[in-house]
Structure 1
Amino acid sequence: MKAFIGYVSMSGNTEDMANILKEVLLAKGWDVEMDCLDAIEVERILAYDCVFFGAYTWGDGDLPYEAEDFFEELNELELEGIHAACFGSGDHDYPKFCAAVDIMVEALAEKGCVVFNQTLKMELNPETDEDVAECQQFAEAVYEWMLAKEGIKHVS
């Protein structure tokens, strides 16, 4: 399967999460590409079986401007049936923890994407073993979801 992991990261936290997701999917044999959302053409996501979107939460619960531009451009595409999963980093010191993740989920669902029913929200960066394991488990869960979609049984 082919996956794309698109993210925006100011301090590197969301990029660290994306790298963990990528490692897990590569180990599962997936063809994975990863890039910043502000560096790609939005149409590119149509070539993948599954797309992951990651963003930090800006201000009082907003998408960062780099992600806002990308998601506005998504409105020009037909996304019916595209499979997507969302993740992001945040800080509990702000009023709306990881609200950008919820904004992405809502925007994708409104455009017809089949959005994974779980999200990955991380306080700052994945630096503890538990944080890394949480990222790995999220990638594993999306992997299993996609296998079920394809009618494939998990093979260890």
Structure 2
Amino acid sequence: MTKVIIVYSSLTGNTEEMSEIIESGVKEAGIEIVRKDAYDAKAADLLQYDGIIIGAYTWGDGELPDEMLDFYEEMEELNLSGKKAVVFGSGDTSYSNYCGAVDLIEDKLRELGADIVHESLKFEYNASKEELQQGKTIGYEIAGVLCKSS
């Protein structure tokens, strides 16, 4: 059976809310999904899933949040070839490197062989209704890609 995992870090709840919306899109498409806070996840968990969705807020001027650092470093040991992936996260446009954590994670997934199947979803602070709908669409779309490839 096709399975997807969402791993996220959230400080104020904005990224967590988006993870829930994306999860609902995947579920409605009929795909099994697990959602974990980065503190409760191990990078090796990703190997058990066909689809990988990672979300993080950006700290400071483009940095990964502390909650995501261990997970991100553990990813270095993985081969994610054949995995389908999407990244999302919140940031602050007052910084020059808007949503830099999202870019770092996406680059790492590509480096490890994952196939990025949708443009990263970046949003400032609270996601708008339109951005929440985009999140749900991402859930549907990764599910559709996985169904076609299985």
The alignment's TM-score, normalised by the length of structure 1, stands at 0.88
Displacement of 1:79 in angstroms is 2.0
Task: Show the 5 A alignment for 1:38-49.
Answer: 38-49=39-50
By relative contact order (CA 8 Å, sep 6+), the higher-ranking structure is 2
Separation in 1, partners of 2:30, 2:85: 18
Displacement of 1:3 in angstroms is 0.7
Separation in 1, partners of 2:137, 2:95: 26
Matched residues, number: 149
Separation in 2, partners of 1:74, 1:103: 12
The corresponding residue for 1:99 is 100
Separation in 2, partners of 1:17, 1:62: 19
Separation in 2, partners of 1:124, 1:52: 19
Separation in 2, partners of 1:136, 1:42: 24
The corresponding residue for 2:116 is 115
Q: In structure 2, the residue corresponding to 1:15 is in which secondary structure?
A: helix
Displacement of 1:17 in angstroms is 0.4
The structure with more radius of gyration: 1
Q: Is the 8 A contact 1:6 1:52 kept in 2?
A: yes
The corresponding residue for 2:26 is 25
The corresponding residue for 1:143 is 143
Q: Is the 8 A contact 1:17 1:125 kept in 2?
A: no
Write the letter of the residue equivalent to 1:132.
Answer: L
Give the gaps of 5 or more residues in structure 1.
151-156
Q: Is the 8 A contact 1:2 1:30 kept in 2?
A: yes
Greater shift, 117-126 or 102-111, is seen at 117-126
Displacement of 1:122 in angstroms is 1.2
Identity %: 35
Q: In structure 1, the residue corresponding to 2:107 is in which secondary structure?
A: helix
**CA RMSD between the two structures:** 1.4
Separation in 2, partners of 1:134, 1:94: 23
Separation in 1, partners of 2:114, 2:84: 6
User: CA-to-partner distance for each residue in 1:42-92, whole Å, 9 max, x for gaps?
Assistant: 211111110100000110011112212111111122222222111111121
Separation in 1, partners of 2:123, 2:138: 11
Report runs of 4+ in structure 1 exceeding 6 Å deviation: none
Displacement of 1:117 in angstroms is 4.1
The alignment's TM-score, normalised by the length of structure 2, stands at 0.91
Q: In structure 1, the residue corresponding to 2:90 is in which secondary structure?
A: strand
Q: In structure 1, the residue corresponding to 2:71 is in which secondary structure?
A: helix
Q: Is the 8 A contact 2:82 2:115 kept in 1?
A: yes
Write the letter of the residue equivalent to 2:103.
Answer: D
Q: In structure 1, the residue corresponding to 2:88 is in which secondary structure?
A: strand
